[in-house]
Amino acid sequence: MGRILPPSRAPATLSALLGPRCRGIVYIPRMDAAPHHPEHPGAAGFRGSWASLLGAAALRALVNPRLAIDLLRTGWAFRRRQWWANPPFLPLPDRTYLRWRMYTAYGSEDAVPPLEDMLRFVRWRRETMGL
């Protein structure tokens, strides 16, 4: 069973996504474990770090130049707005957005996707957008 909270008591990341104009009641479903998904059988149990994920992706990119281009384009698309105006002055993804993406995909804001999921998404993005 989930919890019903007023917006002022919702978790910080959810409040950031909803914004100050949110009125009413916020329902937060209970998440005991990451949901099982047939296309992501190992995702719930993956316990890697972002550093290991990026390192493994970089190694794959060394042997596959097409993948290197796809990874760079996807990384550039995920950069936060006005990244040049705020420290650390790097085109990194917005933390709140990235946590939301992980929550919607894996059921946990702290999830790190398996390498194959990330590579599948990068390829899908290239094929869908015609890049």
Q: How far apart are CA 59 and CA 57, in angstroms?
A: 5
For residue 68, the model assigns a pLDDT of 97
Q: How far apart are CA 6 and CA 9, in angstroms?
A: 6
Where do we find the tokens 């957008």? 129
Classify 122 as helix, strand or coil: helix
Q: How far apart are CA 74 and CA 9, in angstroms?
A: 34
What pLDDT, in 10s, does the model give residues 29-69?
554 444 555 555 555 555 689 999 999 999 999 999 999 99
Q: Report how far apart, in Å, the C-alpha atoms of 90 and of each of 93, 117, 130 are.
A: 9, 25, 27
For residue 131, the model assigns a pLDDT of 72
Q: Tell me what the pLDDT averaged over the chain comes to.
A: 79
